[in-house]
A = this chain, B = another copy of it.
Amino acid sequence: MTLGKALGAGLRRAMQDDDKVVLLGEDIGRLGGVFRITDGLLDEFGAARVIDTPLAESGIVGTAVGLAFRGYRPVVEIQFDGFVYPAFDQIVAQVAKLHYRTQGRVKMPLTIRIPWAGGIGAAEHHSESPEAYFVHTAGLRVVAVSNPQDAYRSLRQAIASDDPVIFFEPKRLYHHKGEVELDAPLADAPPMGLARVVRAGTDATLITYGAMVSTALQAAEAAEDEGISLEVIDLRSLSPVDYDSVAASVRKTGRVVVAHEASREAGVAAEVIASITERCFEYLESAPLRVTGHDVPYPPAKLEKYHLPDLDRLLDAVDRVLDRPNSLTGADA
């Protein structure tokens, strides 16, 4: 099943399980969303639960907040990552704060789904990685998925959570396939906040999330050919970060690379490295490194390959963190 279909299945299942779950977004009805994630849901659940909205993101999220006041569990689709900013005030000042403001008297079980990140040759504003904004915002939970199984499971968990969840879906993986256990009870699933060691290793830890998890795995394979053993961690939850898992790995390897597509300054990698340094300083054998998008606005499509971290940039960082410049990339050879 593709990641896109897994998300659709997760939505369907959540709507079947709880009739308070309603979907809101632009083009999610008849069209099934520009990525077809909600395909078929209008027919199955009707226009009262699959709501095509006017073209206004603040309006969508603000309306969802009102539905939550009324006891609903709204799931919002933001059409593309770059269109979440008009809703920023409602997310940061309302969604994130209402539970605290009312000391839990008002719950905000919203899920805000965001097709996310780059690498698809898109026009401006269609390849943004805004996750750090939400990680920095207390009161939100932030999830980023990397495979169909997680997508299906953690979307259901996000919807079931009484907290607001910003849910990032790497759009360049929508068509990627993987096994999905559709009927495994949610209660048996690992909790939403846990990271996953995707590949065990001993020489260095590669930490990432979203579509870059597969790049990291490629890096680990390439490194293995050179006799280097990389541990790859998929964070899955960006707020909170599962620092127990992260620290366990770092204590083992002593060397860390953190990678993401988002730009570097005050990004998620900075947070992860600062926290690792706080927790594992005495275990670190070299400076943790970041491999990220540059601190530039997302560039035009023809230049994006120079912006996005790729296998070579990951390997270059692994080389550096292992103090063996250019051994893996072999570039200098």
Contact = CB atoms under 8 A, between A and B. Distances in A.
A114 B273 CA distance: 29
Given A89-B88, A93-B82, A290-B274, A138 B263 contact: yes
B265 A269 contact: no
Interface string A4-24: 000000000000000000000
Contacts of A132: 132, 136, 266
A297 B97 contact: yes
Chain A, interface size category, equals 35 or more
A105 interface: no
B138 A136 contact: no
A279 B273 CA distance: 13
Contact of A278 (B97, B138, B268, B289): B289
Interface stretch (A25-33, A157-165, A195-203, A280-288): A280-288
B267 A100 contact: no
Contacts of A286: 281
Contacts of A101: 124, 297
Nearest to A125: B93
Contacts of A92: 85
A228 interface: no
